[in-house]
């Protein structure tokens, strides 16, 4: 199971789960230690993954002609699921799949 998130439509990042040690470093570590943890969890999405998650998003994205994208979280694996948050005419809407 892998988690991806997007705060800008069609720009994806893989979201890794932090270990207890990494959380401890982020709260009490030095600046260099914190930087190393942040670099370790910022993963570039591969071309194959990007193609897959873009296809999933396009299958479920809002049908309204004019919407404002807020964000999307996708979990892929045996049971692909996700949440798309967006606005239409200032009203928040959500698509869960």
Q: How far apart are CA 28 and CA 34, in angstroms?
A: 9
pTM of the model as a whole: 0.79
Q: What is the mean pLDDT of each run of 10 residues along the chain (97 residues)?
A: 93 91 96 93 90 96 94 94 97 97
Q: How far apart are CA 55 and CA 78, in angstroms?
A: 16
How far from each other are the two terminal CA atoms of the chain, in whole angstroms?
Answer: 16
Structure tokens at 28: 């009490």
Task: For tokens 């943890």, name the residue.
Answer: 37
Per-residue confidence (pLDDT) for residue 47, from 0 to 100: 95
């Amino acid at each position: 199971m892998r988690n991806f998130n997007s705060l800008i439509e069609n720009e994806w990042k893989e979201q890794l789960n932090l270990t207890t040690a990494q959380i401890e470093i982020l709260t009490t570590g030095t600046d260099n230690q914190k930087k190393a943890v942040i670099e370790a969890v910022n993963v570039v999405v591969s071309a194959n993954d990007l193609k897959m998650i873009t296809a999933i998003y396009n299958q479920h994205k809002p049908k309204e002609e004019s919407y404002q994208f807020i964000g999307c979280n996708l979990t892929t694996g045996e049971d692909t699921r996700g949440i798309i948050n967006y606005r239409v005419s200032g009203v928040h809407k959500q698509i869960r799949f």
